[in-house]
Structure 1
Amino acid sequence: MSDWRTGFLCLMTRPYEPLFYPKYGGETFMVLPENYLTDRYRPLSGLIGERFGKYTTNHIVIKPIDLPNLSYAESIPRHCTFNFFGAGQRKIAGRLIEDFMKQPDPEALLSVASYARDRLNPTLFQYALSVALQHRKDTGGIYMPSLLEMFPLRFVDPLVVPRLKEEGFVVSSSQRMSIDIPLNYTASDGQPEQKLAYFREDIGVNLHHWHWHLVYPAEGPFEIVNKDRRGELFFYMHRQIVARYNTERFCNFLPPTVPLRNLREPIPEPYYPKILNSATNVTYPARHKNMTLTHMSRPADDAVATVLEIESYTGRFMEAAKSGEVVLPNEERMKLNEVTGIDVLANLLENSILSVNIPYYGNIHSTIHDLVAFIHDPDGEFLEGPGVIGDLATALRDPIFYRLHWFVDDMFELYKQTLAPYSKNELGFSGVTVENVSVQVTNRKTSANRLLTFWQRFQVDLGIGLDFGPEGNVVATFTHLQHAPFIYRINVSNHSQKVRRGTVRIFLAPIFDGDSEMLSFDQQRRHVIELDKFAVDLNPGTNNIIRSSEESSVTIPFERTFRRQDIGMMPGNERFIFCNCGWPDHMLLPKGTSKGTPYELIVMVSDFIEDSVVEFDELQDCSDSHSYCGLRDRLYPDRRAMGYPFDRTFNTDIAHIDDLVQQFSNINRAVVEIRFTNTVISRT
């Protein structure tokens, strides 16, 4: 039989095994045209069909077609690290995405991808194919395994890999036991930064970063890259990550991360990843304490730059941010406006193909990633690969990621500070009063305005990513932060005589820093965390709004981050439409402390007429995590600036959140406590 959906699943399963090698318990065999086999296996084509095809029940027949010339993509060696941040290799990825997008139908795409898979760098291939599948109209509903399933070795302690394989090969599938992955295996508790390992090394957090860049690639067909407010989303999503990270630091009694402003100073934070790079089968290199950036001269890795060069580009960017003007290739200056200015600047800084002047502003963000990634071997003398910060899927594990992006955010803040504070009309919603706000754990076992966090253990089947590994389930147990589900109770009065529609915006802000000193209002503003955003009809009089934390516009459910769904896509089973982009639900709240940490819960109801761009159903078509990921193939569903109203400074008469509440009836706040119980609960 021929089933192109199952064929795509096989393409994304065990990426280092030959495609013809039977998949899914040895029951599925890809029947490839002889010329699709690599040079090593083409002479054995008859034997391959006899050995592997004869005893498999499900055959996926690949039709031969006229193939595009993919030699440009073969220039990236198969067994090396694909450089997401190198301009040259990124262009190759963009061209491969374009070749995949050009195919007239899914069967043709499956054919081209089947030819390419065993010839190209697996990370390059999986990235380009995932972007294409996600953006084509005829494949948008295909389930795509997460990177954890495709490349599990990038997420687990290498010491447990032999145990996983032993359990899989020696014990029958029905009797296999889960192998425990330690929560903390990269450094001792004596290292201060290790207090944040539960955040930095969280699988869901790192997968979010990977999936966001699948939705918003920097290279590829213009219609894919040029999404509505793409640059602004780059700014806001990364600002939120750093705000969340610093908030975690505060409740672990650590100072905020220090922006990486001076690239010539030694970097005091070491990092020893202790995870395997699937591409090279060696561990990602470590960065020792107090190493210094100078340059990188690794043309084979598409990594050539100097600190002086980045300093020059950074100076030009900061001048543009402060002046509100960017230099165009014809040397004319383009004024930035308050609606699109941040979008233009973010595309410049990230250096997507939407940058208005790449030669002048360079590739600041990505080159700093690479400079740090190759700090241990800048000239390639020791043939070492990049550190984790050079890989989209692992970059957030490294403490330096947050220092880099706090510096990036500081540069964006230069521009935001040039904008006039929001006026009373822009902040208010006449005739609407938020009377009261509170939260309550769903099971009601705690008092109002007290939220609980704890450790949770969960199991993941890594079997489909263990190349040449055992068939069937190979299960690992991970431990991660989790919170008790809760509800918001929001009482809103509509003083008019007609139904009005509003947008409810819910935020959490830290009150104290890591030294238990009170944060200034402007410091709080930079650390505000978005928890939820949704539209609501306000009837005349009192409206009692109840909203579950599980409905957040920021997060995706736990099952969408971790649960293996590929079996549901096999023939005879119901298809599961999968949307991977979104902050993991289990990391919605900061950890808090055992004694309880106070936070400001801020609720604003703004005028939907001024907010709305398009009506949408947040329960349909990957729309539930729109705050960080937007809507698929549609405009971003909020006309306001991302982060509104905290993306700009306020007038001088607003020096505290209480001032904001007193001046605007449509804003209210409550102090909530987050208490960490330090218990471990298994997920059922």
Structure 2
Amino acid sequence: MMHGFLDAFLVPAILAILRGAQPPYRDGGGRGPTPGLHGPTQLDCFEQYGGMRGQIMADITNINRERYYHLFTQKPYRPTPVLVINPLYKCWNDQYQTVFDSITSKIGPTQMFASFHGPHAKAVGEMADILIENIDTTDPSNSKAIEFFYYIKQRGDIHPQLFVNALPSALVATGSSLIGEPTPPLVEMFPSRFMPNLVQVPGIRPAEQSLRGSNKTCVKVNERWGSTKTNGIENRLCPIPRRGELFYFFHHDLMARYASERMANGFKDYFVEGIKPIVNYELKQGFDSNLRDGVSNLNWVNRVNSTFLNKTSLPADLYKKLEKHIILWRRVNEITQTDKVLDGNNDTVPLMPKPDGINTIGELFEASEWSINSYFYGDEGWHNTAHDILGSVLMEKDQEKRDEWGVLSDVATAVRDIYFYRIHNEVNNMFMRYKDKILKPYELTQGDYPFVVPGIVTKSIQVQGDTYHHVNNLTTLWRNKDMVLNGGLDIKPNKPGHELHLSVCLKHLDHEEFTYTIELENQGTKDRRVFVRLYMAPRYNLDRKRFNLTEQYRLFFTMDAFPIMLTPGVNTIHRKSQDSTVTNPWFTLTSELPPRSSLENIGKTCPCGYPHHLLLPKGSDDNLGVYDLVALVTDGADYNGQPTDLCASSYMHCSRLDGNREYPDVRPMGWPFDRRPSDDLSQADLDKLVQQVPNMAKTTVTIVHDDVVPKEHVI
């Protein structure tokens, strides 16, 4: 993972590809795409046949959002003869055939795609490289790029998920103006990756099993359909600022939220055990996703209870990876304890400067193209290899016959499995070992990034629900969402003209919207810009005792962060939950689009963000859901974002997609709850810290859950 840092972001649906398949890693330190990958430089095919565009490609000089959008809708029924008669496509065939042969030798067009599997990830990298070559950033119409994308789609031998995984890296590397252009959501591109039993048996179309207008029970599927995170995408030409740190921050936030929900539901092990896959490690919990892949028509491999990682459960090549995996873990762990790292020249050097230390660990632990030493720390990284190993349990051992994978092998399906969270808690643990061992706690007024900011007083904070209007008492609930999904790149219709339509009713967690009211005092005589950060964490342990700060700081997760201008004196700020810079609203389906003529007027949207309906953790029915809500205000200079940034509305997990790609918050991500408390505060509760920080305030919020199940209905 995870989610590295999809940081430069893309097409709305593509970004939902969580911590996607990483491009191939080369010699330590990262060098970007390999020069001369395709042999000697050749005459640009698009320029060579440009004079024929009007004859062989309709409207190629007037490319608009409509054409780009439909790259990601239903794939052609059969390979098109245009590849033979179209001189431009024939030229591209001749130019790139060697590369396509290499790609298809790693993953065929009808095989099951697993983004964490090494060969598939390398194929993604090769595809990204040739996409980069054909994105012309000097052409605002993107004519060449979109025509090349259509050429890839119409070849018929490129796996659709391979293309969708590769495109984000290519757009980011080139700074393409296609970043943020509308596309269908991932669930519409690949519905079989999200909906159980969608593909029943060969030859029967899902549309014949699920007709619009029939009575259907709502299904509770992967609630994180809309979760688009900035992990996995990388710039193959130059490193993205703080990408490795965002890899840490996203995992930390995710695991704090997950622990909070487990606690509210009565789990004593609310922080699940971090897994370190070693020989004979027991996977106690089995799992069956009930998913059938639409491209290959194969089931995802299930796992029985008490499966041991050994030569019996793993293919030989994955067993060798397992034997090396603990070595990779020890090497990374040594960095967290010594503050030293082995660089690309095999020299042991200090992990400096300090602000970049966490970034260096993130880049190599994942690993990304920019790992400081991918040979020593693993060219696939501890995190990606863990997914590959656990996703390969009980699969076919004969490589020639191997065609099925477990859900942990792919970013779109992994979140279903409990071991997804165990892998990612170990990722979080690794970063916290470094911060706890090497980095000093933040001080009140001294040191780097102190708590106290003179001249600002946070007098109070409260929250009120917009539905029930209770102060500091919020409600989560179940909702049904009706969706009509058009097409699907993973399910081929029986014949041309018979498009696939799926009517789906999704039962999902949601919450009442709410409003923060924050009183801030500007003690100066002039207007002052400030930066407001909002956090939440469980207040009590399962024995109903207050957490001390040492226990609680790892449970804080971000709710919002935003700049605002204060006039001298007391200011009352009202902030809507819908405006959170952590989340994004529900995606827009093809069936929900305006008329065709209006598509180009939609404008760009941020394709990244945590699902807004999951902003609050699920409430508790027995009053366990009591949280501390914290407002911490610092100087406005801490925020260097702009309202015009593509992802200004959800930058916290996404950074920026365009323009200046520096992360908008100059302080460490997760500050100040990313480091252990000082010794004098370690056994104290949160109240003592707040009393010493004038620009900090807190309140207690109770989240309850309305467990009424929405009625079934006709869609």
**TM-score when normalising by structure 1:** 0.83
Is contact 1:285–1:384 with CA below 8 Å preserved after alignment? no
CA gap of 1:598–1:32, structure 2 versus 1, over 3 A, is same
1:651 aligns with 2:678: yes
CA gap of 1:262–1:476, structure 2 versus 1, over 3 A, is closer
Match of 1:192 in 2: none
Taking the aligned partners of 1:361 and 1:472, their CA distance within structure 2 comes to 45
1:439 aligns with 2:466: no
Taking the aligned partners of 1:648 and 1:249, their CA distance within structure 2 comes to 23
1:410 aligns with 2:455: no
1:318 aligns with 2:333: yes
The superposition leaves residues 395-436 of structure 1 with CA deviations (integer Å, 9 ceiling, x where unpaired) of: 111100111111111111111011011122211111211111
Gaps of 5+ in 2: 1-57
1:635 aligns with 2:648: no
Match of 2:397 in 1: 379
Taking the aligned partners of 2:545 and 2:276, their CA distance within structure 1 comes to 24
What's the offset of the Cα at 1:606?
Answer: 1.1
User: Taking every aligned residue pair, what percent have the same amino acid on both sides?
Assistant: 27
What's the offset of the Cα at 1:523?
Answer: 2.6
Match of 2:505 in 1: 477
Alignment partner for residue 231 of structure 1, among 234, 244, 258?
Answer: 244
1:538 aligns with 2:554: no
Match of 2:441 in 1: 421
What amino acid does structure 1 have at the position aligned with 2:262?
Answer: R
Is contact 2:192–2:198 with CA below 8 Å preserved after alignment? no
Match of 1:335 in 2: 350
Taking the aligned partners of 1:531 and 1:358, their CA distance within structure 2 comes to 35
What amino acid does structure 1 have at the position aligned with 2:196?
Answer: D
Give the 3-state SS of the residue equivalent to 2:663 in structure 1.
coil
1:119 aligns with 2:118: no
CA gap of 1:541–1:565, structure 2 versus 1, over 3 A, is farther
Give the 3-state SS of the residue equivalent to 2:320 in structure 1.
strand
1:370 aligns with 2:388: yes
Taking the aligned partners of 1:345 and 1:485, their CA distance within structure 2 comes to 37
Alignment partner for residue 649 of structure 2, among 611, 614, 624?
Answer: 624
Alignment partner for residue 464 of structure 1, among 480, 487, 491?
Answer: 487
Is contact 1:533–1:552 with CA below 8 Å preserved after alignment? yes
The superposition leaves residues 77-98 of structure 1 with CA deviations (integer Å, 9 ceiling, x where unpaired) of: 2222333223443232122112
1:666 aligns with 2:704: no
CA gap of 1:166–1:345, structure 2 versus 1, over 3 A, is closer
Is contact 1:180–1:478 with CA below 8 Å preserved after alignment? no
Taking the aligned partners of 1:281 and 1:170, their CA distance within structure 2 comes to 16
1:272 aligns with 2:300: no
Taking the aligned partners of 2:260 and 2:528, their CA distance within structure 1 comes to 35
What amino acid does structure 2 have at the position aligned with 1:333?
Answer: T
What amino acid does structure 1 have at the position aligned with 2:643?
Answer: D
Match of 2:70 in 1: 10
Is contact 2:477–2:705 with CA below 8 Å preserved after alignment? yes
What's the offset of the Cα at 1:178?
Answer: 7.0
What's the offset of the Cα at 1:14?
Answer: 2.2
Match of 1:71 in 2: 101
The worse-fitting range, judged by mean Cα deviation, of 445-454 and 9-18 is: 9-18
Match of 1:240 in 2: 253
Question: Over aligned residue pairs, what C-alpha RMSD do you find?
Answer: 3.0
Give the 3-state SS of the residue equivalent to 2:509 in structure 1.
strand
CA gap of 1:87–1:153, structure 2 versus 1, over 3 A, is closer
Is contact 2:521–2:570 with CA below 8 Å preserved after alignment? yes
Is contact 1:305–1:367 with CA below 8 Å preserved after alignment? no
Give the 3-state SS of the residue equivalent to 1:158 in structure 2.
coil
CA gap of 1:410–1:101, structure 2 versus 1, over 3 A, is same
Match of 2:84 in 1: 34
What's the offset of the Cα at 1:177?
Answer: 4.5
Match of 2:583 in 1: 555
Match of 2:237 in 1: 222
CA gap of 1:169–1:407, structure 2 versus 1, over 3 A, is closer
Give the 3-state SS of the residue equivalent to 2:386 in structure 1.
helix
Give the 3-state SS of the residue equivalent to 1:305 in structure 2.
helix
Give the 3-state SS of the residue equivalent to 1:124 in structure 2.
helix
Taking the aligned partners of 1:563 and 1:116, their CA distance within structure 2 comes to 24
Is contact 1:178–1:476 with CA below 8 Å preserved after alignment? no
Is contact 2:536–2:628 with CA below 8 Å preserved after alignment? yes
Match of 2:7 in 1: none
Alignment partner for residue 306 of structure 1, among 315, 321, 324?
Answer: 321
CA gap of 1:275–1:181, structure 2 versus 1, over 3 A, is farther
Gaps of 5+ in 1: 21-30, 38-61, 185-200
What's the offset of the Cα at 1:474?
Answer: 3.1
Taking the aligned partners of 2:511 and 2:256, their CA distance within structure 1 comes to 19
What amino acid does structure 2 have at the position aligned with 1:428?
Answer: V
Taking the aligned partners of 1:154 and 1:503, their CA distance within structure 2 comes to 40
What amino acid does structure 2 have at the position aligned with 1:123?
Answer: Q
Taking the aligned partners of 2:84 and 2:455, their CA distance within structure 1 comes to 72
The superposition leaves residues 290-317 of structure 1 with CA deviations (integer Å, 9 ceiling, x where unpaired) of: 1122368759xx8563333111111111
Give the 3-state SS of the residue equivalent to 1:493 in structure 2.
strand
CA gap of 1:169–1:372, structure 2 versus 1, over 3 A, is closer
Taking the aligned partners of 2:200 and 2:687, their CA distance within structure 1 comes to 53
Alignment partner for residue 110 of structure 1, among 125, 146, 149?
Answer: 146
Is contact 1:229–1:636 with CA below 8 Å preserved after alignment? yes
The superposition leaves residues 306-355 of structure 1 with CA deviations (integer Å, 9 ceiling, x where unpaired) of: 33311111111111111111011323222123210000000010011100
Is contact 1:569–1:575 with CA below 8 Å preserved after alignment? no
What amino acid does structure 2 have at the position aligned with 1:307?
Answer: L
Match of 1:53 in 2: none
The worse-fitting range, judged by mean Cα deviation, of 654-663 and 102-111 is: 102-111
What's the offset of the Cα at 1:150?
Answer: 0.8
Match of 2:213 in 1: 176
What amino acid does structure 2 have at the position aligned with 1:377?
Answer: M
What amino acid does structure 2 have at the position aligned with 1:77?
Answer: G
What amino acid does structure 1 have at the position aligned with 2:389?
Answer: L
Taking the aligned partners of 2:545 and 2:672, their CA distance within structure 1 comes to 24
Match of 1:40 in 2: none
The superposition leaves residues 54-112 of structure 1 with CA deviations (integer Å, 9 ceiling, x where unpaired) of: xxxxxxxx876544412222222222233322344323212211211221353222333
Is contact 1:145–1:566 with CA below 8 Å preserved after alignment? no
What's the offset of the Cα at 1:222?
Answer: 2.2
Match of 2:262 in 1: 249
The superposition leaves residues 367-387 of structure 1 with CA deviations (integer Å, 9 ceiling, x where unpaired) of: 111110011137348745221
What's the offset of the Cα at 1:181?
Answer: 3.9
Match of 1:49 in 2: none
Give the 3-state SS of the residue equivalent to 2:648 in structure 1.
coil
Is contact 1:15–1:150 with CA below 8 Å preserved after alignment? no
Q: How many positions carry a matched residue from both structures?
A: 615
What amino acid does structure 1 have at the position aligned with 2:652?
Answer: S
The worse-fitting range, judged by mean Cα deviation, of 455-464 and 288-297 is: 288-297
What's the offset of the Cα at 1:144?
Answer: 1.9
What amino acid does structure 2 have at the position aligned with 1:102?
Answer: E
Give the 3-state SS of the residue equivalent to 2:308 in structure 1.
coil
Give the 3-state SS of the residue equivalent to 1:525 in structure 2.
helix
1:605 aligns with 2:633: yes
Taking the aligned partners of 1:272 and 1:169, their CA distance within structure 2 comes to 25
Match of 2:20 in 1: none
The worse-fitting range, judged by mean Cα deviation, of 568-577 and 251-260 is: 568-577
Is contact 2:457–2:696 with CA below 8 Å preserved after alignment? yes
Give the 3-state SS of the residue equivalent to 2:289 in structure 1.
coil
Taking the aligned partners of 1:390 and 1:16, their CA distance within structure 2 comes to 27
The superposition leaves residues 112-152 of structure 1 with CA deviations (integer Å, 9 ceiling, x where unpaired) of: 32332221122112222354356642322421222201110
Match of 1:56 in 2: none
Taking the aligned partners of 1:15 and 1:517, their CA distance within structure 2 comes to 57
Give the 3-state SS of the residue equivalent to 1:370 in structure 2.
helix
Give the 3-state SS of the residue equivalent to 2:295 in structure 1.
coil
Taking the aligned partners of 2:642 and 2:246, their CA distance within structure 1 comes to 19
Is contact 2:113–2:161 with CA below 8 Å preserved after alignment? yes
